[in-house]
A and B are shown apart, each in its own frame.
Chain A
Amino acid sequence: MTKLDRRTAAVHPVDHIAHSHRLRWPEALPWLLIAATYLLFPSYLALGSQVLIMVLFALSLDLVLGYAGIVTLGHAAFFGLGAYTAGLLAAHGWSEPISALFAAAVVAGAFGAASGAIILRTSGLTLLMLTLAVVSLLAEAANKADSITGGADGLQGIVINPLLGRFDFDLYGRTAYLYCAAVLLVMWYVVRRLVHSPFGRSLTGIRENRLRMHAIGAPVRRRLVTAYAIGAAVAGVAGALQAQTTQFVALNVISFHLSAAVLIILIFGGAGRLYGAFVGAPIYMVAQDMLSRLDPVYWFFWVGLLLVLVVLFARGGILGCVDGVRRRWP
């Protein structure tokens, strides 16, 4: 018996699963930090909002990759769809932000369901290439349709009404930050409920042993497509937040580049743990901000080095490291 088994043996496995949905006190930590950032660093809120948006985006990828085990390089397709949905609505007179979030979620979710139904028939490298193809196709479509999307010059004329009719999106980004934090809180709660539900459990089952799930009669593909669509909808909300807080959308929201960046963030933090996104995004983006300030030309080198170190020495990401330490010194 290893140390791990002995420690967890105290709790009956069934109890462990039955109680895992209960909130524990460390889960308040990210929210305390988010509130503290607002109070302590009022001049860093623009960066703060972008970090929160990336947290939400990485959280949606965690559902797809970390829990359902769908390896994707095309997750930015849904982020971009959400961004363009919110952007186009706002540019054509629909300036109310919260309803536009719902619209973005519906559009991205529907596209996720449709494309998922096709590409999730495959797996492994084929699936990886197909996700890449989907994001490339969408990006090219957005580039070609420049009378609608503004093409490479970006979508202009986005007007966002004050939040709830009262709070203007100000120059310092206070409203944007609180708005992003509130949306993230709601989406986090939804995703958390989901991964601890029987549905979420079956996703983990599919990830760990697909054949066995088939054998016990679980509708594997339907579950995967559903998870993919929900992940897409959450990513769409993140994209819409980005469009609304930046009040501009351009082709970079649907790019392989962004898909890869969010994957790196999740690997940094630790996939399949729900909180990997909360750890990875701030570290990656703050490191990027500080390094690019010190060295505007070669900062990418240092980000790359950091990633190599994480992949070499901290396989489960930063949270995986933390777990490892706790296991060694319980």
Chain B
Amino acid sequence: MARLGTLLCALAFGATVAATPPARAAETVKVGVILAYSGQAAASVKQMDEAINLYMKLHGKELGDTKLDLIRRDDTGPNPDMAKRLARELITRDKVNLLAGFYFTPNINAVAPLATEAKVPVIIMNAATSASIRLSPYLVRVSQTLWQQSYPLGQWAGHHGIKRAYIAVTDYGPGHDAEAAFARGFTEAGGTVVGHVEMPLKNADYVPFLQRIKDEKPDALFVFVPGSRDAAALMRAYSDLGLAAAGVRLIGTGDIVPDNELAEMGNVPDGVVTIGLYSAVADRPANKAFVAAWKAEYGPDAVPSPFAVGAWDGMAAIFHVVKAQHGKIDPDRTMQLLKGWRDDDSPRGPIMIDPQTRDIVQNMYIRKLERVNGKLANVEVETIPMVQDPWPKLNPPK
């Protein structure tokens, strides 16, 4: 008899539990993060991952009881087959609401059709080839494009007393973009390109190229090289050959002076001018707070790079759409929220997503490489406000 009573009790309890609606189910938003954690870009990607972690730590509470679940996957480098397979698995198996990351252009290019097919918004945190963004209406870019940097730098050079320029870029997609953009901006501003050279991708020795350029005696040398090791090797060749003394100014994209590598660059002549979206020494309040938080988390000698800022703002975009939809992610509503999204508190200054192109609009800074308190730093000397990517206007969709 007693046993029957227990059974009835248990049944009644079970029924009540089943009938009571759960007290406000906490939503979970799943975000697949695909980045090249291993391989040639691992150092830059580490910065991006650190930025993602720091953002979660500092802003995690803002989401209330919505849970943000980041699922990280390693695409190992420029490896589109792997990236596409990982994206496919994240979409079909893990049922992610959003995708983010993407260091290399071919990887996002391969994933773009999946984003359209599965209606999953993708936040591009690095890959910088202009044309990629057109491959799917579900892509948004928060990093930069090479045209956005090189074209305004070309115009700036033309307007600042540089008449003859030589172009040296690395021989692959982004290098070709940088060359075309700089040449266009520079000639439009009245300058003349006196020569150009495409240097092999796996090349640590820049001396022969720079020697030839020195003999040509241009007013300035425009350079794009990827990666921190190449940047350091290039800088060494520039100072060893005495190009500065020979009157050849070095200008380039921010890639040749990565903030986190400056400490290791040694004796660099003054007067190197670069254009970039972010400098760690910028004195905007938002940046000071960002750098302070970075150093508190990763040590007093740690310096955030532009890669970190791209990932940081990517997280800000994700938080924006998650908060606005209270954790219930609808792909088309998400895209509506991202188009025209504006953030004035980014470490790099105000940023906005262009509602038409879904690409980022941001300030571009002309910086001089100088010693501040004995340490090399990219000091911002001029601001070109709210630069759009010039490429779509010059290459209208067919």
Query: Does B84 sit at the interface, judged by CB under 8 A?
Result: yes
Contact with B along A17-58 (1 / 0, CB 8 A): 000000000000000000000000001101100100000000
A173 adjacent to B38 (CB under 8 Å): no
Q: Which of B46, B84, B174 has the most CB of A within 10 A?
A: B84
A252 adjacent to B74 (CB under 8 Å): no
Find chain B residues with CB under 8 A from A162 CB.
Answer: none
A252 adjacent to B85 (CB under 8 Å): no
Contact with B along A136-157 (1 / 0, CB 8 A): 0000000110100001111010
B88 adjacent to A152 (CB under 8 Å): no
- Closest Cβ neighbor of A251 among chain B residues: B78
Contact A296-B72, Cβ < 8 Å, known A153-B106, A173-B88: yes
A172 adjacent to B92 (CB under 8 Å): yes
Query: Does A299 sit at the interface, judged by CB under 8 A?
Result: yes
B90 smallest CB distance to A (angstroms):
10
A296 adjacent to B74 (CB under 8 Å): yes
A43 adjacent to B73 (CB under 8 Å): no
Query: Does B26 sit at the interface, judged by CB under 8 A?
Result: no
Query: Does A292 sit at the interface, judged by CB under 8 A?
Result: yes
- Closest Cβ neighbor of A143 among chain B residues: B172
Query: Does A300 sit at the interface, judged by CB under 8 A?
Result: yes
A46 adjacent to B89 (CB under 8 Å): yes
Q: How far is the CA of A252 from the CA of B84 in the complex (A)?
A: 14
Interface size on B, residues (CB 8 A): 38
Find chain A residues with CB under 8 A from B46 CB.
Answer: 297
Q: How far is the CA of A252 from the CA of B171 in the complex (A)?
A: 16
A264-293 contacts to B (CB < 8 Å): 292-293
> Which of B74, B93, B132 contacts A297 (CB under 8 A)?
B74
Q: How far is the CA of A46 from the CA of B85 in the complex (A)?
A: 6
Interface size on A, residues (CB 8 A): 32
Find chain A residues with CB under 8 A from B324 CB.
Answer: none
A292-321 contacts to B (CB < 8 Å): 292-293, 296-300
B37 adjacent to A47 (CB under 8 Å): no
What is the interface of chain A mostly: helix, strand, loop, or mixed? helix
Query: Does A248 sit at the interface, judged by CB under 8 A?
Result: yes
Contact A250-B92, Cβ < 8 Å, known A143-B171, A152-B174, A297-B74: no
Contact with A along B66-101 (1 / 0, CB 8 A): 000000111011111100110011011100000000
Find chain B residues with CB under 8 A from A143 CB.
Answer: 171-172, 201
Contact A250-B110, Cβ < 8 Å, known A173-B88, A242-B81, A292-B74: yes
B32-49 contacts to A (CB < 8 Å): 37-38, 42, 46
B172 adjacent to A151 (CB under 8 Å): yes
Find chain A residues with CB under 8 A from B171 CB.
Answer: 143-144
What is the interface of chain B mostly: helix, strand, loop, or mixed? helix
Query: Does A247 sit at the interface, judged by CB under 8 A?
Result: yes
A46 adjacent to B88 (CB under 8 Å): yes
- Closest Cβ neighbor of B39 among chain A residues: A300
Query: Does A10 sit at the interface, judged by CB under 8 A?
Result: no
B37 adjacent to A248 (CB under 8 Å): no
A47 adjacent to B89 (CB under 8 Å): yes
B80 adjacent to A154 (CB under 8 Å): yes
Find chain A residues with CB under 8 A from B88 CB.
Answer: 46, 171, 173
Q: Which of B38, B72, B113, B132 has the most CB of A within 10 A?
A: B38
Q: How far is the CA of A171 from the CA of B119 in the complex (A)?
A: 12
A217 smallest CB distance to B (angstroms):
46
A38 smallest CB distance to B (angstroms):
15
Query: Does A115 sit at the interface, judged by CB under 8 A?
Result: no
Contact A154-B74, Cβ < 8 Å, known A171-B92, A172-B92, A173-B88: no
Query: Does A161 sit at the interface, judged by CB under 8 A?
Result: no
Find chain A residues with CB under 8 A from B131 CB.
Answer: 153
4 tightest Cβ-Cβ pairs between the two chains A and B = A154-B106, A152-B173, A248-B110, A250-B106
What are 15 A-B contacts with C-beta separation under 8 Å? Answer: A43-B93, A46-B88, A143-B171, A153-B105, A156-B135, A171-B118, A246-B85, A249-B80, A250-B80, A251-B78, A292-B73, A296-B73, A297-B46, A297-B74, A300-B38
If A248-B109, A296-B73 are given as contacts, then 14 extra A-B residue pairs at C-beta distance below 8 Å, sorted by A number, are A47-B85, A146-B173, A152-B174, A154-B106, A246-B110, A247-B110, A248-B110, A250-B110, A252-B80, A292-B76, A293-B73, A296-B38, A297-B46, A300-B38
A residues apposed to B, CB below 8 Å: 43-44, 46-47, 50, 143-144, 146, 151-154, 156, 171-173, 242, 246-253, 292-293, 296-300
